[in-house]
A and B are shown apart, each in its own frame.
Chain A
Amino acid sequence: MNAGAAPLLEIVDLVRYFPVRNAFGRRTGWIRAVDGLSLAVWPGETLGLVGESGCGKSTLGKTVMGIYTPTAGDIRFAGREIGHLPARARRAVARDLQYVYQDPGASLDPRWKVVHSLHEPLKIHTRLSRPEREREVGAILAAVGLPDAHLDLYPHELSGGQQRRVGLARILTLRPRMVILDEPTSGLDVSVQASVLKLFRSMQEAFALTYVFISHDLAVVRAMCARIAVMYLGTIVELGDTAAVFETPRHPYTRSLLAAVPRIGGRRVTLDFVLEGEPPSPRDVPSGCRFRTRCPLVQDVCAMEEPPLREVDGRAVACHFA
């Protein structure tokens, strides 16, 4: 993929553990939320990051954003190591790398008019004069499809969808190069979800954005992302072109995950669904292959050796039997 071009974001052997403490504050173990994960994101692409809750996908996003510091490993953004920067230098990176929470509208200050919220990032990160800022804000507002008149409104005077657009406009005023979207459509109705996804797409075209799209909704990821990374208990088990992964999943976990998604109009998937049980706790990661406790293909070797992510069929798969 994009041979020759450098990846915009490169994650190498990233580890993020959280300590588990007992009532006396003594550490009794670690939650291995992200555990030796490597990943590259290319300029202009949309990379999907999927997995069940607790697999570490949000921790990964937040560690890249600098909300958590990495326990070990490197994060390179545009060729520069950003995982261990001092706070001031880290803040400068935020211009180029932005993070969208589940509901960007909810991050607006209810006491601020829209105009105030949209000017704030520009005041912090740029030295633009007031007229320049106004021009910039106007352009962004038009791009997300809101009239100028909305600048003088407070968030509560807007509908939920409009708040969401303002929240997104606020992130785009800095013209970031990469945006991490963390479950941007969970809890939305399908028709609203469709409008939000369309908006993300048009923003990507207008501002040449690179997206990391974190979601547990496989149908949405399939529609939005060219490449997809499947996570299980803190590591990537399969990574490749979305169409190929959806058509011929090679990792048994990917297969089970895809088999669980209802297909409207087809046979009921629950009739054939086989995956039993729930993911183990990230406090207590199984030895060897992490998926072995639920895997239909499990053999002795799976408990002994952790399968590395290796090239199979034009994609990366971490399974002894792929």
Chain B
Amino acid sequence: MPELLSVRGLSVDFVTDGGVAQVLDGISLDVGPGEVVGLVGESGCGKTTLARAILGILPTGATRIRGGEVRFKGADLLREDPGAVNDRVRGRAITFIPQDPYTSFSPVFSVQTQIMDLMKWKSPRAGHGGAARSSFRRYPRERRRADRDAVLETLRAVQIPEPTRALRRLPHEFSGGQRQRLMIAMALLPQPDLIIADEPTTALDVTIQAQILRLLRTLVKERGVSVLFTTHDLGTAHEICDRVVVMYAGQEMEAAPADAFFARPAHPYTRRLLASVPSPGGEIRDIPGDVPSLIAPPPGCRFHPRCEYATAECREGRPPPRVLAPGHGVRCHHPVDAPMGADG
């Protein structure tokens, strides 16, 4: 299957007062057409940085892309003309659902103003052409009317009650769950090939989270849209993903189809992470040690200082990718071959 998005060896540095932090260290990751891929990892592991690097919205001053490529439909987004990426890819072929539905809308404009402003530039009916050159471009009445119909239809699809009246309201009149539904609608409206969802349910209650996850999964499957879904919550990943990639300290550790990921994880980190989810029996197991500093990260596999299987070769170099089963890859010298729970 040709991949829709293919990240290869991407390395990103942040320049900070304390030194250069190697936030991403040779990350590789694939997203196939129509696939929902979960990007799982703890805070600070670089999942948001990766999402932003793919979208090309890393802060320009303090970040440096050290190497690698981000291939989207065959073209390397890091080397394309930035104007063309902005015009054709960002917000069109790749859209974004943010984590926090509370601060992602402007509080002073109606929802209609904000959605129609998006549609003016990014609707599938809008022509191409540098936005900067034509920022005073008229929004033709006919296209506006067609776009508005599409907006109402999408609001119905995300189950916003009374969409015509909803459009006239201000963001604060919606609950968190409703605002996240609006965000999903806005991500779907440009008819993208890929949606990058950055922890979209973290701020919501479990009952609302279940509603939103079900809605998102149904809509993207109906429309054949791929999703890269970052989350630190393994339960959420289990609910929505076809495939899961786990990251630790800026390196990808394991990628597997969701079933295999949860049933037969091979990387020691994945296994410790899954074991630290509180079990119904009340058993609690943590991972000894702390997440390493990214300014002076451990050499080789960055998990080795906390890994019970670590040997000298783990310190020497990063383990090469190893394929255990179709679609199940791991970067570890000592992968565990046992179902989850078997190693106690």
List the A residue with the shortest CB-CB distance to B282: A223
Taking a contact as CB atoms closer than 8 A, the residue among A218, A219, A270, A275 that contacts B217 in the complex is A270
Contact A191 B278 (CB under 8 A): no
Looking at B208, B214, B286, which has the most chain A CB atoms within 10 Å of its CB?
Answer: B286
Within the assembled complex, what's the spacing in Å between the Cα atoms of A159 and B290? 9
Query: Which residues of B sit under 8 angstroms from A256, Cβ to Cβ?
Result: 207
List the A residue with the shortest CB-CB distance to B41: A189
Query: Which residues of A sit under 8 angstroms from B210, Cβ to Cβ?
Result: 259-260, 269-270, 273, 275
Query: Which residues of A sit under 8 angstroms from B61, Cβ to Cβ?
Result: none
The interface stretch among A19-27, A102-110, A195-203, A312-320 is A195-203
| CB of B175 closer than 8 Å to a CB of A | yes
Taking a contact as CB atoms closer than 8 A, the residue among A194, A223, A246 that contacts B287 in the complex is A194
List the A residue with the shortest CB-CB distance to B177: A278
Contact B232 A190 (CB under 8 A): yes
6 pairs across A/B with beta carbons < 8 Å? Answer: A53-B205, A193-B278, A197-B284, A268-B238, A270-B214, A270-B240
Query: Which residues of B sit under 8 angstroms from A216, Cβ to Cβ?
Result: 205-206
- The residues in A between 267 and 322 inclusive whose CB is less than 8 angstroms from any CB of B are 268-271, 273, 275-276, 278
Within the assembled complex, what's the spacing in Å between the Cα atoms of A48 and B207? 18
Contact A260 B277 (CB under 8 A): no
Contact A223 B280 (CB under 8 A): yes
Contact A246 B280 (CB under 8 A): yes
| CB of B263 closer than 8 Å to a CB of A | yes
Query: Which residues of B sit under 8 angstroms from A220, Cβ to Cβ?
Result: 278
| CB of A175 closer than 8 Å to a CB of B | no
Contact B284 A265 (CB under 8 A): no
Contact B234 A223 (CB under 8 A): no
Contact A261 B235 (CB under 8 A): yes
| CB of A263 closer than 8 Å to a CB of B | yes
| CB of B43 closer than 8 Å to a CB of A | yes
Taking a contact as CB atoms closer than 8 A, the residue among B178, B213, B232, B279 that contacts A223 in the complex is B279
Contact A223 B278 (CB under 8 A): yes
Within the assembled complex, what's the spacing in Å between the Cα atoms of A222 and B280? 6
Within the assembled complex, what's the spacing in Å between the Cα atoms of A189 and B277? 10
- The residues in A between 78 and 114 inclusive whose CB is less than 8 angstroms from any CB of B are none
Taking a contact as CB atoms closer than 8 A, the residue among B207, B236, B263 that contacts A265 in the complex is B263
Taking a contact as CB atoms closer than 8 A, the residue among A193, A201, A262, A263 that contacts B276 in the complex is A193
For B, the interface residue count at a CB cutoff of 8 angstroms equals: 42
Query: Which residues of B sit under 8 angstroms from A193, Cβ to Cβ?
Result: 276, 278
Enumerate chain B interface residues (CB-CB to A < 8 A): 42-43, 175, 177-178, 205-211, 213-214, 217, 232-236, 238-240, 262-263, 272-274, 276-287, 290, 340
Q: How large is the interface on A (under 10, 10 to 19, 20 to 34, 35 or more residues)?
A: 35 or more
List the B residue with the shortest CB-CB distance to A221: B278
Contact B286 A273 (CB under 8 A): no
Given contacts A190-B234, A190-B276, A278-B178, 15 further A-B contacts (CB under 8 A): A161-B290, A190-B273, A191-B287, A194-B286, A218-B206, A219-B277, A219-B278, A259-B210, A261-B206, A262-B239, A264-B234, A264-B262, A275-B210, A275-B211, A278-B177
Contact B208 A268 (CB under 8 A): no
Within the assembled complex, what's the spacing in Å between the Cα atoms of A159 and B289? 12
Within the assembled complex, what's the spacing in Å between the Cα atoms of A223 and B285? 11
CB distance from B339 to the nearest CB of A (A): 10
Query: Which residues of A sit under 8 angstroms from B290, Cβ to Cβ?
Result: 159, 161
| CB of A52 closer than 8 Å to a CB of B | yes
Contact with B along A207-229 (1 / 0, CB 8 A): 00000000010111011100000
| CB of A143 closer than 8 Å to a CB of B | no
CB distance from B222 to the nearest CB of A (A): 15
Query: Which residues of A sit under 8 angstroms from B282, Cβ to Cβ?
Result: 222-224
Taking a contact as CB atoms closer than 8 A, the residue among A159, A194, A246, A270 that contacts B239 in the complex is A270
Within the assembled complex, what's the spacing in Å between the Cα atoms of A191 and B208? 25
Query: Which residues of A sit under 8 angstroms from B286, Cβ to Cβ?
Result: 191-192, 194-195, 198
Taking a contact as CB atoms closer than 8 A, the residue among A194, A257, A269 that contacts B284 in the complex is A194
Query: Which residues of A sit under 8 angstroms from B263, Cβ to Cβ?
Result: 265
Contact B42 A223 (CB under 8 A): no
Within the assembled complex, what's the spacing in Å between the Cα atoms of A108 and B273? 30
Within the assembled complex, what's the spacing in Å between the Cα atoms of A216 and B206? 8
Query: Which residues of A sit under 8 angstroms from B211, Cβ to Cβ?
Result: 273, 275-276
Contact A275 B207 (CB under 8 A): yes
Contact A194 B276 (CB under 8 A): yes
Taking a contact as CB atoms closer than 8 A, the residue among B43, B177, B240, B278 that contacts A194 in the complex is B278
Within the assembled complex, what's the spacing in Å between the Cα atoms of A262 and B211? 12
Query: Which residues of A sit under 8 angstroms from B207, Cβ to Cβ?
Result: 52, 256-257, 260, 275
CB distance from B254 to the nearest CB of A (A): 15
Query: Which residues of B sit under 8 angstroms from A268, Cβ to Cβ?
Result: 238-239
Query: Which residues of A sit under 8 angstroms from B175, Cβ to Cβ?
Result: 278
Query: Which residues of A sit under 8 angstroms from B205, Cβ to Cβ?
Result: 52-53, 216
- 9 residue pairs, one from A and one from B, having the closest CB atoms: A262-B235, A223-B278, A194-B286, A189-B42, A270-B214, A260-B210, A194-B276, A195-B286, A52-B205
Within the assembled complex, what's the spacing in Å between the Cα atoms of A159 and B292? 12
CB distance from A47 to the nearest CB of B (A): 15
Contact B272 A265 (CB under 8 A): no
Query: Which residues of A sit under 8 angstroms from B177, Cβ to Cβ?
Result: 278
Taking a contact as CB atoms closer than 8 A, the residue among A195, A222, A270 that contacts B278 in the complex is A222
Contact A191 B284 (CB under 8 A): no
